[in-house]
Every structure is written in structure tokens, then in C-alpha cells.
Structure 1
Amino acid sequence: MDWMLFVIFLGACTAAGATGSMFPPDAWYRTLSKPTWTPPDWAFPVAWSYLYLALAFAGARVAPLDGAAMAMAFWALQIALNTLWTPVFFGLKRLRAALVIIVCLWLAVAGLLAALWPLDRLAFWLLSPYLIWVTIAGALNLSIVTRNPQSASA
């Protein structure tokens, strides 16, 4: 693996993750009605730390491979959507728009996994939890929209 590629991919992941510190959950979020299965606050930085490291590792492994164009396109799309979701949900408080973004993110992650399977099974398995996490986040976003119609209309 090319470590310079890893650093570049990690830089993209760090930029995406920075939106979490720029738009952290605030009093507004704490007042929203959420389902009982909402992950605890500590789970989010733990999960994202693993996922961003896995994304950087997978990207660095796969980028130089022949036939990796589709995987890299999905990698770029998912990191862009990943970066966009937090400011839309927490910054703009646009719950429905965030839901659209997270559905697109789920599709991009599924596309990434499908593109990784024939190229690099280790990258595929390292990123498989990402689809699970985005599924949970999407279900949580949907639940918050339906439980908070007054906030979701914004």
C-alpha cells in the first residue's frame, strides 16, 4: 500500500469528519423526540473514527488497482455526501433534506461495496460496517423526521 495515498485519503476523511466539530449536536437536537434505540452520544465518534480510518485504508489499497475507476467514483461520491449531511442536519436543521442526502449516501456506500468486491475483498469487509452504520443513521434520521413534524418542515 502506498502510504502517501493513505495520507491523502485520510485528509479527505478528516475534512469530512471536521463538519462534526463545526456542527455538533446542540440544545435543538437534544430537544428532538428520538427513538429509544438511538445510539449513545459516545458511539458516534467511536464509529466514525473506525469508519474514516477504514475508508482511507480501503481507498489507498484500491486506487492504484486496474479497474478501480468505479470504486473511486463511488468513494468520492460517498465522502462528498458524508461531508454534506452534518451541516444540513445540524447546521441548517433541514431534517427532510438530510434524509434525502443520507438515502443517497446509503446508495453510494452500497455502490462502493459492490465495486470493491471484485477488486479487494479486504477493503470490502473493512467497509461493510459502513453500510450498517449508514442504515442505522438513515433510520434514525427518518424516525426523527416522523417524530418531529414541526422541526422537519423547516
Structure 2
Amino acid sequence: MPLVSVRQNWIVLLVFVALVLGIGMVVGLVAAPGTYVRELKMPDLVLPDAVSGILGLVLSVAFAIAGWRTWVIDSNSTEMRLWLATLILSWWFSPAFFIMRMPALALCIVAALFVLMVWFEFRTWRRDRPSFWLMSPSVVYIAYVAAMTAAIVAMN
């Protein structure tokens, strides 16, 4: 397993965390759920806003750290490309669901996210186990989001 030093790479770590949280906040503000969500039939297992907000923050920081580790180890790796693809694709879920009002498209996006994240997990298992573990809770959460989105599509 490669050693990744926070001391030598802390500025890059801050950039990763700021990028993930900053753009995520902008997307969240632009594509806020609004009244559209209240019009939809929702599954019983949808998390309350307060829980999903805190969970999203913690998962985003872990995701950013996994990306930072991947960048420091090899910025040109397949793992880095998978992480970047996951990051960019994740920005499209909320606009598809809440702005375009297309839950089926959002379901396709979240399914693709799940595939990319699992692929990242397979790639990092041998190469950088901490990145694997940092990403794992996000994979579980994305599977949950996919299930809830599929239920919303089916119910509406």
C-alpha cells in the first residue's frame, strides 16, 4: 500500500474537499427540491432532510479524501478517471430530478454512478485500501438512493 502524507499534500487535500463541498453546495442550491417533491408519492424509507444533509456532508468529505489519495498516488490512473467521472456525474442527479423533473433520468444517472463507484472499489481494493474504505459508505448510500429513486419512479 502506498503511503500518502497529509503533511506534504495538505493543500491538495484542501482543494479536493473545497471542490467537492463547494460545487456540491452550488448544485444543491440551484437544484433544490422545492414544491415538486411535495407533489410526488414518496416511499416510506426516504430519509428526513436533516439526516440526509449531515450524511451527505460526511460522505462528501470521505469521497473528497478518497479522490485526494488517488490523485497523490497516481493522478493519471484509471482510478482517478473513475473518481472524476463519479464526481462529474453526481452533479447531474439533482438537476435531472428537481429542475428537469425527470425522476427516470435521475434513476439512470444514479445507476451509472453506482456502476462507476463499484468499479472504483474493485480497482482500489488492491491498490489503496484506505480509498476503498473511504468510498464504501458512499457506494452503500448510492445503492439506497437508487432504490428510493426507483420506488419514486414506480409510484409516480
User: TM-score under structure 2 normalisation?
Assistant: 0.88
- Tell me the distance in 1 between the aligned counterparts of 2:26 and 2:124: 26
Structure 1 residue ranges (4+ consecutive) displaced by more than 2 angstroms after TM superposition: none
Match for 1:11 among 18, 37, 42? 18
Shift in Å, 1:18: 2.2
Equivalent residues in 2 for 1:32-71 (5 A)? 32-66=40-74, 69-71=77-79
Q: Deviations over 1:40-91 (max 9, x none)?
A: 1112211110111111111112212158601101100100111011111111
- Tell me the distance in 1 between the aligned counterparts of 2:126 and 2:92: 29
Are the equivalent residues in 1 in contact too, given 2:74–2:80 (CA < 8 A)?
no
In structure 1, what residue type is equivalent to 2:45?
A: W
- Tell me the distance in 1 between the aligned counterparts of 2:62 and 2:113: 17
Q: Secondary structure of 2:57's partner?
A: helix
In structure 2, what residue type is equivalent to 1:12?
A: L
CA RMSD of superposed structures (Å): 1.5
Q: Secondary structure of 1:111's partner?
A: helix
Equivalent residues in 2 for 1:19-38 (5 A)? 19-38=27-46
- Tell me the distance in 1 between the aligned counterparts of 2:79 and 2:101: 31
Q: Secondary structure of 2:126's partner?
A: coil
Greater mean deviation of Cα atoms: 112-121 or 131-140: 112-121
- Tell me the distance in 1 between the aligned counterparts of 2:149 and 2:115: 16
Q: How many residues align?
A: 148
What is the identity percentage for the equivalent residue pairs of Structure 1 and Structure 2?
26
